[in-house]
Each structure stands twice: as C-alpha cells, then as structure tokens.
Amino acid sequence: MVIRAGEPWGEPGRPPGSIPVAADEAALGDLWVGGVREAVLESGTLRSSTGTATTDLRLRAEVDAILVELRGPQGRSVVPVFGTMVIGTGPFGTRIAAIVTNSGFWRTRRVVPAAHPNDGTLDVLEVAPGMVLAQRYLAWRRSVRFDHLPHPDLVVRRGTEWTWTGSPCTAWVDGRRVGRVAHVGCSVRADAMRVWL
C-alpha cells in the first residue's frame, strides 16, 4: 500500500536466504522484468533515501517502479526505474534536460528532497535548456545542503505520469546507459516490488 504522510514505512527484519539479491537498482529492474517481486538490494539510491546501513537487520518495504517508454534512433523500449533516470549527460552539465527519480537521489545528491520511493508519484527535476554552466555548477554544489531549490531554471514536477520530447540525447536508467532518446514517457507502478533495503 502506498505510504501516506506521517505513516511508518516498512518493517525491520532479516531477509530469508532464499530471496534473490540485487547489487543495485539496475539489477533490481532486471529481476522485476524477470517476474521477481521480492529481493534484497545491496546498494543504490533507494538505500540512500532510507538511510539504512549494511547490516543483517534490514528494512523490508514496498517500493514503486517508474515504467519508462524510451524512443530514439535505436527504436522503442520500455524499462523499469527503481532509483533514478537521467536524460542528458554530466553533473548538471550542459546537456542535462531532466532527472526522473523515485528515490529523490542522483548519485550522492538528494536532487528532489520531497521524493519518497513508495508515495505513488514520480518526481522530476527539469533543467531549463538556457541554464548557464556556472548556474548548473552552483546548483550541483548547493544540492549537498538541499538548498539548490528554488531556482528559476530548475522546476520540480510531481505526478503519476510525465513526458519529455527533445533533440536526441543520452539517457541513463539506474546508472546504466540505455542509449540516445528523443521521447520519454513515464508512469508510476505503485507497490511494484517488496525490497529489503
């Protein structure tokens, strides 16, 4: 069940040894595509978003997936995102168009502080095409303290669906390069998987 404000999320416990283990969110997505609906997650932004440490005692929680339709020169594909998808390249570099996130994190930065991995929404940080490199760099530095927002060239959108169309650029899903895209369509699949964080 999707979490509501003020409600506890997940329960501590020890995962049974028979549950598959995913090294990161990309591997978690591979398991999900293969039909697995419960797994242990070893690392990634979902673990960062919960602040869980690597111990025998873990947080068992339902997490949402973002189903992403990618269209570009290579054709069409649909992939799940459990952590973060980046459209463009570089840390707030000149070609970042948007960051779509379930966890709120990109790399080590919490770029969308209000995001939660089981709130039934996807969170998007849109970067204005005209945002100059100096401002992108400053926003990246300020994101350590979560004070990069508000900014006139950064817009946060929340919802159950989101689309982007633009000039072909590289997209990354949970740290894995998926190719060049010109169109991205996202939708939330609430409670997609039970994950031991």
pLDDT-based confidence at residue 25 (cuts at 50, 70, 90): very high
- For residue 3, the model assigns a pLDDT of 72
Q: Per residue in 78-114, pLDDT tens?
A: 999 999 998 987 554 557 788 899 888 877 777 787 7
- For residue 165, the model assigns a pLDDT of 93
- As annotated, the residues of the chain forming the CATH 2.60.200.40 domain(s) are 66-189
CATH no., domain 66-189: 2.60.200.40
- For residue 31, the model assigns a pLDDT of 98
Q: Of the candidates 116, 122, 106, 97, which has an alpha carbon nearest to the alpha carbon of residue 187?
A: 122
Mean pLDDT for the chain overall: 85
* Residue 185 φ then ψ, to 5°: -125, 130
